[in-house]
Amino acid sequence: MTIQIGDTLPAATLGTPTPDGPKPITTDEIFKGKTVALFAVPGAFTPTCSARHLPGYIDNGADFKAKGVDTIACLSVNDPFVMGAWAKATDGAEDILMLADGSGDFTRELGLTLDARGFGMGERSQRYSMLVKDGVVTELNIEAGGEFKVSSAEHLLAQL
């Protein structure tokens, strides 16, 4: 079952790259008492994700903060090393909390998996964005296959 607006995010431990190497981070640490703009991508370094999705959130970071967003987070079913390398390769990504769902457990709990075996990528995350307030989903935008519209930074920002 896919997570819905009004649902509380499931408890999970994800990975995040840090200057000292990958570190575990819990959903409580990310979301408790905060307003978070979370967006998910099928894969780091993939064309749409690198050219449009991540840059959109970087470019609009100040606008999200001005509207009360504490954290902008990017989630992918990749390992923390890949997420760290992607952040380093992307100008401005230091202001984005990069989250690795290496095994895809969190993504499965959300009901937002994508079968990307046809592209040689295995099980990944669907492309989506959500606004989360204190662990509760208040906006949810799931892309139709192959599209990039409703999960964009501009679309989520307009919902604030």
- Residues marked active site are found at 49
Contact 99, 74 (CB under 8 A): yes
44 contacts: CB under 8 Å, gap ≥ 6? 50, 76, 78, 82, 83, 85, 86
Q: β-pairing, 123-125 with 113-115?
A: antiparallel
Which amino acid belongs to residue 60? N
Residue 79: count of CB within 10 angstroms of its CB = 17
Q: β-pairing, 113-115 with 97-100?
A: unpaired
